[in-house]
Chain A
Amino acid sequence: MAEKTAPDTGRVRGNLPPLELYVPEPRYRPGDVVDYSHLPVPPAGQLGRPDENCPASETWPMTTDMIRVLDEEDRAVGPWNPGLDAETLRRMLRTMALTRAFDDRMYRGQRQGKTSFYMKCTGEEAISVAHAHALAHDDMVFPTYRQQGILISRGYPLVEMVNQIYSNRADKLKGRQLPVMYSAKDYGFFSISGNLATQYPQAVGWAMASAIKGDTRIATAFVGEGSSAEGDFHAAMTFAAVYNAPVVLNVVNNQWAISSFSGFAGAERTTFAARAAGYGIAGLRVDGNDALAVYAASRWAADRARANQGPTLIEHFTYRAEGHSTSDDPSAYRSAQEREEWPLGDPIMRLKKHLIALGEWSEAQQEAMDRELVEQVKVATKEAEKNGVLGHGLHHPFHTMFEDVFEELPWHLEEQAAQAIREREIKWPEWKGEGA
């Protein structure tokens, strides 16, 4: 007799309605007219700013509302206005513009076949740049692949970034990592993983270690809203709460995880910042396209951590203006209008207009700066290209493939290295590369 393999279906309990599976669906698909009227954009300057030492529960209003500083007239208003001087504002604007110029150049580099892959952060420049400006230079950041603005803010050489992207012989990571997965310990920039959200519990562990040692440095970590669904996110939140770790946990809610909208990470139920409440930690939700708001929230959370008041979860509400990566085509899954009508605007334009409104900047200065930045990136790219581009032979010697698996090379890797080098001599007898 055949075993029954499927459960009975149908109305087994009288007149109860059949259960229905709910599968989220974004509001707009390609070709749809976009209407953002459902999305509340509160006026700037309205939200109160609690003291950094407040109980976590006092931040609840901040997790469901949105911290905004720059108003419709390009003024900085309200209690969250960090009151930055014009010099700092201009530096932030310049770094954000440089990040965009760098992205544009590297995107073209990928299209020209100089590398396999690139990821832009267009529309999210305020998040990484303003966050970096709010930290001490030696705080450790555990980033994702879309925080190149942190490296640029901290003065990491552009040439080194391009070397890494081109996986050439000067790449400090020896051509082992995907492009944009930098590592720069001396710049407080942790090695990037392709496995999502793994850096979250690691950042908490780093922060715990800093506390164990009585250090004053804190850790901050980034994750996209999509990967906040990973178990690691919740492990990190639990550990951060349990040990009151001096860590700032950032969620960049850019609405899209490749082609999955934020609803698949639970965005339809609550905000990402509100998740802090369940763990008893502080939470802030901030306009991610408002550099001053990002700075203020990051600074608040960093000061709180440094004062032994524990972790903060910050949701940066923003929009991923470009595709997920050069391997993605967003026109296949979302309306082109989404980007154009995004109600929080463009972070660079907003900061520029604020500086102009202050009388500290002009359109002419902006144009001159943009030209200068394009040239700066071009020079760095040319310099890096001397060390080779992906697939053109100027890569690290074969033996390096076997190094750093362990501190010392065990016999089996030594044998395999010898084989790889033997194969090279057969496959490419004309090889004139340096070393083995």
Chain B
Amino acid sequence: MTEENALSLHDAPTRSMNMIEAINDALDIMMARDPDIVILGEDVGYFGGVFRATAGLQKRYGRNRVFDSPINECGIVGAAVGMAAYGLRPVPEIQFADYIYPGLDQLVSEAARMRYRSAGEFTSPITIRSPFGGGIFGGQTHSQSPEAMFTHVAGLKTVIPATPHDAKGLLIAAIEDNDPVIFFEPKRIYNGPFDGYYDKPSRTWKGHPGSLVPEGYYKIPLGKARIVREGAALTVLSYGTMVHVAEAVLAEKGIDAEIIDLRTLVPLDMATVEKSVEKTGKCLVIHEATRTSGFGAELVTLVQERCFYHLEAPVERVTGFDTPYPHSLEWAYFPGPVRIGEAVDRLMKE
């Protein structure tokens, strides 16, 4: 546990949860606290969502506050923008991040700029939850990682948790935030952390320190990274599923790497990154999204601009390939231990 996490716990009793349970817990707590929070999305009501993240909430808070929507992401996001303008705090679910594009204009041109264009008269305190990323044989339409599209947009915040503990604390912070937040949930680790070897059995969250979720309300501030593991030889920047893959690979290789889970891409905790790179002199960026113009390009540039005189090797990035996600070759696409391992070896040789 890092310092920030420890501070946020307030010595509350903890319960081991998977990420879905933690998200459900966060939604439950926030809906009980704030009657203006409403949840809408495909299948989120009676059924509780295809991943069960909203299970039980309609029964508890009524159909006025948790309800199914038409299959129409433009309508889901557009209605949420209007609800927010009224004074509600909608938490829409987009069933898969791959389906967010019909709602993109409402997000990018409307929600993101509502505060700016109206000089604060109208705001969009919306938290859009959406499962993203691959590793579950979802094919090209259930596996994408579109986070870079949103980080490119002025006015949107992008949040990606890597543990159940963080998922709950970050989601609570996102819902309380008065700006529109894209909350991407790495669905590969909904049920357990993951080392990148698909042919090894998946573990559950049980026993993982990140699965110990405090009871009740707590939040993890947006814009604050988590140092997963301290180290002196290499800084690894990552988020979501890839944090766990990086951890497994570096432990296996026995490298004294400092692994940073960024948690939020916008706003970015650049101070923590700079401090680490200045210490280690080497930096590796890992994400699952396609390579060209991915968020890794931004991270590498920032490190180069701000830490150049501390660097002992070129900053590297390990990413998915610049292809759509292939169904049968998913494990050839996935930036797993081999790809990460090669990059680590190159960096450590410098």
Q: Interface on A for B, CB 8 Å cutoff? A: 140, 142, 172-174, 176-177, 181, 183-185, 190-191, 193, 195, 198, 200-210, 212-213, 219, 231-232, 235-236, 238-239, 242, 404-407, 410-412
Question: Would B74 and A235 count as touching, CB distance under 8 A?
Answer: yes
A123 to B227 CA separation, bound complex (whole angstroms):
64
Given contacts A190-B85, A202-B82, 16 further A-B contacts (CB under 8 A): A193-B117, A201-B78, A202-B78, A202-B85, A205-B82, A205-B84, A206-B83, A209-B82, A210-B86, A213-B86, A238-B75, A406-B157, A406-B179, A406-B267, A407-B115, A407-B177
A406 to B121 CA separation, bound complex (whole angstroms):
13
A205 to B223 CA separation, bound complex (whole angstroms):
30
Closest to B35 in A: A213
Closest to A410 in B: B267
Question: Would B80 and A205 count as touching, CB distance under 8 A?
Answer: yes
Q: Which 9 A-B pairs have the closest CB atoms?
A: A205-B82, A201-B78, A205-B79, A209-B86, A235-B75, A202-B82, A206-B82, A191-B118, A410-B267
Contact of A177 among B65, B117, B157, B270 (CB under 8 A): B117
A429 vs chain B, min Cβ distance (A): 28
A181 vs chain B, min Cβ distance (A): 7
Closest to B65 in A: A212
Question: Would A205 and B78 count as touching, CB distance under 8 A?
Answer: yes
A256 vs chain B, min Cβ distance (A): 24
A193 vs chain B, min Cβ distance (A): 6
A404 to B123 CA separation, bound complex (whole angstroms):
9
- Inside 8 A of A208's CB, which chain B residues have their CB? 79, 82-83
For residue B110, CB closer than 8 A to chain A, the reply is yes
Contact of B81 among A205, A231, A238, A411 (CB under 8 A): A205
- Inside 8 A of A183's CB, which chain B residues have their CB? 117-119, 121-122
- Inside 8 A of A404's CB, which chain B residues have their CB? 115-116, 119-120
Residue pairs across A and B with Cβ atoms less than 8 A apart, 25 shown, are A172-B121, A173-B119, A183-B117, A183-B122, A198-B109, A201-B106, A204-B82, A205-B86, A208-B82, A212-B64, A212-B88, A213-B88, A231-B102, A235-B72, A235-B74, A238-B70, A238-B72, A238-B75, A404-B115, A404-B116, A405-B155, A407-B123, A410-B266, A410-B267, A411-B267
- Inside 8 A of B157's CB, which chain A residues have their CB? 406
For residue B87, CB closer than 8 A to chain A, the reply is yes
- Inside 8 A of B38's CB, which chain A residues have their CB? 209, 212
For residue B154, CB closer than 8 A to chain A, the reply is yes
Question: Would B116 and A198 count as touching, CB distance under 8 A?
Answer: no
A185 to B268 CA separation, bound complex (whole angstroms):
32
Closest to A238 in B: B70
Question: Would A209 and B115 count as touching, CB distance under 8 A?
Answer: no
- Inside 8 A of A201's CB, which chain B residues have their CB? 74-75, 77-79, 81-82, 106
For residue B8, CB closer than 8 A to chain A, the reply is no
A313 to B87 CA separation, bound complex (whole angstroms):
25
Contact size range, B: 35 or more
For residue B189, CB closer than 8 A to chain A, the reply is no
A112 vs chain B, min Cβ distance (A): 26
A58 to B167 CA separation, bound complex (whole angstroms):
51
Question: Would B87 and A209 count as touching, CB distance under 8 A?
Answer: yes
Contact of A185 among B88, B121, B270 (CB under 8 A): B121
Question: Would A410 and B223 count as touching, CB distance under 8 A?
Answer: yes
- Inside 8 A of B109's CB, which chain A residues have their CB? 193, 195, 198
Contact of B82 among A184, A219, A231 (CB under 8 A): A219
- Inside 8 A of A411's CB, which chain B residues have their CB? 267, 270-271
A360 vs chain B, min Cβ distance (A): 39
Question: Would A202 and B121 count as touching, CB distance under 8 A?
Answer: no
A242 to B84 CA separation, bound complex (whole angstroms):
20
- Inside 8 A of B78's CB, which chain A residues have their CB? 198, 200-202, 204-205, 232, 235-236, 239
B39 vs chain A, min Cβ distance (A): 12
- Inside 8 A of A172's CB, which chain B residues have their CB? 119, 121
B79 vs chain A, min Cβ distance (A): 3
A345 to B266 CA separation, bound complex (whole angstroms):
55
Q: Interface on B for A, CB 8 Å cutoff? A: 38, 64-65, 69-70, 72, 74-75, 77-88, 90, 102, 105-106, 109-110, 114-123, 154-155, 157, 177-179, 223, 266-268, 270-271
B262 vs chain A, min Cβ distance (A): 14
Identify which of B115, B118, B177, B179 gathers the most chain A CB atoms within 10 Å of its CB.
B118
Question: Would A203 and B82 count as touching, CB distance under 8 A?
Answer: yes
A52 to B104 CA separation, bound complex (whole angstroms):
37
Closest to B156 in A: A406
Identify which of A142, A202, A411 gathers the most chain B CB atoms within 10 Å of its CB.
A202
Identify which of A204, A209, A232 gathers the most chain B CB atoms within 10 Å of its CB.
A209
- Inside 8 A of B80's CB, which chain A residues have their CB? 205
- Inside 8 A of A142's CB, which chain B residues have their CB? 82
B238 vs chain A, min Cβ distance (A): 20
Question: Would B88 and A209 count as touching, CB distance under 8 A?
Answer: yes
Closest to B80 in A: A205
A184 to B146 CA separation, bound complex (whole angstroms):
35
A235 to B70 CA separation, bound complex (whole angstroms):
9
- Inside 8 A of A212's CB, which chain B residues have their CB? 38, 64-65, 83, 88
Question: Would A202 and B110 count as touching, CB distance under 8 A?
Answer: yes
Question: Would A205 and B83 count as touching, CB distance under 8 A?
Answer: yes
- Inside 8 A of A195's CB, which chain B residues have their CB? 105, 109-110
Question: Would A191 and B70 count as touching, CB distance under 8 A?
Answer: no
Closest to B82 in A: A205
A238 to B102 CA separation, bound complex (whole angstroms):
15
Question: Would A239 and B120 count as touching, CB distance under 8 A?
Answer: no
If the complex has contacts A191-B121, A209-B88, A212-B38, are A232 and B178 also in contact, measured as CB distance less than 8 A? no
- Inside 8 A of A174's CB, which chain B residues have their CB? 119
Closest to B177 in A: A407
Closest to A400 in B: B119
Question: Would A176 and B119 count as touching, CB distance under 8 A?
Answer: yes
Question: Would B178 and A202 count as touching, CB distance under 8 A?
Answer: no
- Inside 8 A of B121's CB, which chain A residues have their CB? 172, 183-185, 191
A339 to B118 CA separation, bound complex (whole angstroms):
35
A193 to B223 CA separation, bound complex (whole angstroms):
29
If the complex has contacts A185-B122, A411-B270, are A209 and B83 also in contact, measured as CB distance less than 8 A? yes
Contact of A405 among B75, B87, B110, B116 (CB under 8 A): B116
B135 vs chain A, min Cβ distance (A): 31
B260 vs chain A, min Cβ distance (A): 17
A291 to B78 CA separation, bound complex (whole angstroms):
31
A434 to B212 CA separation, bound complex (whole angstroms):
53
A396 vs chain B, min Cβ distance (A): 9
Contact of B154 among A185, A204, A219, A405 (CB under 8 A): A405
- Inside 8 A of A177's CB, which chain B residues have their CB? 117
A231 to B84 CA separation, bound complex (whole angstroms):
21
- Inside 8 A of B110's CB, which chain A residues have their CB? 193, 195, 198, 202
- Inside 8 A of B123's CB, which chain A residues have their CB? 407
Closest to B157 in A: A406
Question: Would B118 and A185 count as touching, CB distance under 8 A?
Answer: yes
A232 to B116 CA separation, bound complex (whole angstroms):
22
- Inside 8 A of A193's CB, which chain B residues have their CB? 109-110, 117
A177 to B115 CA separation, bound complex (whole angstroms):
12
A166 vs chain B, min Cβ distance (A): 16
A62 to B78 CA separation, bound complex (whole angstroms):
29
